[in-house]
Amino acid sequence: MRPDEVTNMAHGNAAAGYGDHHGPPKGVMRWLTTTNHKDIGTMYLVFSLTMFLIGGLFAMLIRAELFQPGLQLFNPGFYNQLTTMHALIMVFGAVMPATVGLANWMVPLQIGAADMALPRMNLFSFWLLFFAFMLLISTLFVPGGAPAAGWTLYPPLVLQTGNAFPMAVFAIHLMGASSIMGAINIIVTIVNMRTPGMTLLKMPLFSWSWLITAYLLIAVMPVFAGGVTMLLTDYYFHTSFFNAAGGGDPVLFQHVFWFFGHPEVYIMILPAFGIISEIIPTFSRKPIFGYEAMVYAIASIGFLSFIVWAHHMFTVGMPLAGQLFFTLSTMLIAVPTGVKIFNWTATMWRGSISFEPPMLFALAFLFLFTIGGFSGLMVAIVPADFQYHDTYFVVAHFHYVLVPGAVFAIMAAVYYWLPKWTGHMYDMTIAKWHFWLTAIFVNVLFFPQHFLGLAGMQRRIPDYPTQFTDWNMVSSIGGFGFGLSQLLFVWLIIRCVKGGERATAGVWDWPHGLEWTVPSPAPYHTFEKAPELH
C-alpha cells in the first residue's frame, strides 16, 4: 500500500463516520468493565511498565550490593529473594504482559478485525494477571520472605521456602491461566477474524509472530503448572516426585521446568522478532526481504524450541548421547535465527534509511541481540559449557538477548505505535536521549559480565572475592545509569499521552499495514466493517 493510499483511506474512514459517537465510560469503572481490545492493551502496557520499574528497582538493589566486595546492604537470604523476584517480575510481569498488550492493541488492527475473538475472556485474563502479581509481590512481606530459590524454583531448595510457597505457586497458576487464555484468544482471533483477502501469507509479521507464540504458550504453560503442582504436593502431601527418599529425583523437576522454560524464552523473543520485522521495513522504505522465509524461520524456531531444553542442565550428570543431542539441536536453532538477522539486514540493503527512535532501537536490537546470540552459541557447546554454566557468562548471555533483545524491541514498538494510540507525536529529543543513554549503559552494565563469568564468578551470590571488584563496579555503574535513563521513557510517555503535535493516520513516512489506515488516535471502535485489501 503506498503512503498516499494510506492517508486517503484514513480520511475515508473518518468521513464515513467510523469515529466515536459515544466515548467509553469515564473513571475507574471503565477499566474494570471494558472489553475493548485497545483499552485492555493499554492496561497490559501500563501494568508491564510498572512491573518493569519494580523489577528494575530490584535490579538496582542487586547491583548496589554487588558494587563492592563485602556485604553492605542485605543479608544473603534477602539478596536471594531479590534475585528471584527480579527475574519472576521481569519475565512474567514485564516482558510477557508487554508483548500481550502489544498483541491486544495491534493484532486486531493489523488483521482488520473489530476486536479480539473473546473480549470478555480478554478482560478476565488481564485482571487475573493483576491479582496474581499482587499475590506474588506480597510474598516479600510474609514470614520467611519471598521465594529465594531462583526463578527456576529447583527442589529440594525451593521446598525450604516458608509461608510464601503456596502463595507463589498459586500466583504462578493464576498467571499461567491468564497467559493461556490470552493465547487462545489470539489464536482464535487470527485464525477466524482476518479480513477477507488476508491469507495467512499476507498477514503482517508481528501477527505471525504472535500466532506461533500463542501456540507455544498453550503447549508449555500447562507443563509449568503441572511442575509447580508437583512441587506443591511434595511440600504438603508427602508425594515424592522430586525427593530421592521416596523414589523421586530432583532432576526430574529440572526436565519438567526446562521443557517449559526453554520455549518460554522464545515466547518472550518471538514477538520481539515480529516487532523488528515491522519497524525495519518502515524506516528503510521498502518491504521486508524474504517474507516467506521469515515466516518459516519463526515457525521453525518455535518448533525447535521444544527439543533443546536440556542445554540448561548439562552439569546434572547426563548420558553422553544426551549431551551431544542437545548441543546439536541448540546449535541448529541458530540457523533460522541467523536467517532472520540476514533478512533484516537485506531489508535495509538498497533501502532509504532514516533514524527515528523506533529505528534506533530496532538497529540496537540487531547488533546487541546478535552479540547475545554469539554467547548463546558458546554456552550451547559442551564441554565448554562446563566452564560457563552457572557463571556470569550465562547471566551476560541471557541479559543480552532479553534486554537489548526483547526489551529494546518492546521500547521500539512503543515508539512506533505510541502516536497511533495517543494521537500525538512525542518529544523526539527526549526520545533520542533515552535511546543513547539506554544503549550505552546497557553495554556498560552487561558486557563486563562476560569477563566476570570467564574469570570464574558464579551466579546468584551477594558477595565475591576481591579480584572481581573492578568489573562489578563497572557493571553496577552501568546498571544505575540504565535504570535512571528509563525515567526519561516514563516521562516521555506521560507527556505524549497528555498532548503533543497532532499525529496523522500514517504517522511515519512509509507506513505499511492496516493499522496506519485508521486515524490517530485510533478510534475506540475500528474496522466494524471489514476493510478491503488492495
Partner 1 sequence: MVAPPRKSNRGLVGRLLLMVAGSFAFGFALVPLYDVFCEVTGIGTRAQLNRASAPDASAPDMSRVVTVEFTASVPDSGPWEFAPVVASMEVHPGRLYEARYSAHNLTGRDTTGQAVPSITPLRAAQYFRKTECFCFTPQRFTRDEKRDLRVRFIVDRDLPRGIDRLTLSYAFYDVARLAGGKG
Partner 2 sequence: MSTVKRNSKLPAAAGALAALFALPARADWSLLNMPKGVSVLSREIYDMHMIMLWICFAIAVVTFGAMIFAMIRFRKSKGAVADTKLLHNARLEAAWTLVPTIILIAMAIPSVDKLIKIEDMSGSKLTVKVTGYQWYWQYEYLGRGVSFYSRLARTSDIARQLGSGIDPYTVENYLLEVDKPLVIPTGTKIRLLLTANDVIHAWWVPDFGMKRDAIPGFMNEMWISVDADKPGTYRGKCAELCGADHGFMPIVVVAMPPAEFEAWLAQQELRQ
- Site string (268-307) toward partner 1, x via CB under 8 A: ----------------------------------------
340 is catalytic: yes
Residue ranges of E strands in 64-218: none
Contact residue for partner 1 among 49, 88, 91, 113 (CB under 8 A): 113
**Considering only residues 131-160, where is the footprint of partner 1 by CB under 8 A?**
159
Neighbours of 529 (CB within 10 A): 12
296 is catalytic: no
> What is the Cα–Cα distance from 321 to 463, expressed in whole angstroms?
37
Q: Which residue has the cell 506474588?
A: 136
Query: Is-contact 155 250, C-beta < 8 A?
Result: yes
459 is catalytic: yes
Q: How far is the CB of 26 from partner 2 (least distance, A)?
A: 35
258 binds partner 1 (CB under 8 A): no
Contact residue for partner 1 among 322, 481, 483, 500 (CB under 8 A): 322
> What is the Cα–Cα distance from 331 to 311, expressed in whole angstroms?
10
Which is catalytic among the residues 255, 285, 432, 459? Answer: 459
Query: To which H or E segment does residue 114 belong?
Result: none
Residue 150 binding: pick among partner 2, partner 1, none (C-beta 5-8 Å cut-off by kind): partner 2
Q: Which residue has the cell 508427602?
A: 238
356 binds partner 1 (CB under 8 A): no
Segment contacting partner 1 (CB under 8 A): 146-154, 314-322, 382-390, 470-478? 314-322
- 416: Cβ contacts below 8 Å, ≥ 6 apart: 275, 278, 279, 282, 358, 508
337 is catalytic: yes
Which is catalytic among the residues 179, 282, 327, 485? Answer: 179
Q: Which amino acid is it at 484?
A: L
Q: How far is the CB of 53 from partner 2 (least distance, A)?
A: 23
- 328: Cβ contacts below 8 Å, ≥ 6 apart: none
262 is catalytic: yes
Short-list 53, 80, 45, 50, CA closest to 65 = 80
Contact residue for partner 1 among 44, 47, 79, 224 (CB under 8 A): 224
Cβ nearer to partner 1, comparing 312 with 397 = 312
Which is catalytic among the residues 340, 399, 420, 512? Answer: 340
424 is catalytic: no
Which is catalytic among the residues 39, 234, 264, 356? Answer: 264
- 275: Cβ contacts below 8 Å, ≥ 6 apart: 102, 206, 209, 362, 409, 410, 412, 413, 416
Query: Residue count at the site for partner 1 (CB under 8 A)?
Result: 49
Which is catalytic among the residues 37, 86, 286, 389? Answer: 86
Q: Which amino acid is it at 77?
A: G
- Give how far Cα 240 sits from Cα of 271, 318, 453, Å: 38, 21, 35
> What is the Cα–Cα distance from 141 to 343, expressed in whole angstroms?
48
Neighbours of 192 (CB within 10 A): 9
Residue 387 binding: pick among partner 2, partner 1, none (C-beta 5-8 Å cut-off by kind): partner 2
Query: Can you name the residues that pair with 502 across neighbouring β-strands?
Result: 424
Query: Is-contact 308 262, C-beta < 8 A?
Result: yes
Cβ nearer to partner 1, comparing 235 with 342 = 235
261 binds partner 1 (CB under 8 A): no
Interface residues with partner 1 (CB under 8 A) are 113-119, 159, 180, 183-184, 187-188, 191-193, 218-227, 230, 235-238, 241, 244-247, 249, 252, 255-256, 259-260, 317, 319, 321-322, 525, 528-529
Q: Which residues are marked as active site? A: 86, 115, 151, 178-179, 262, 264, 266, 277, 311-312, 337, 340, 459
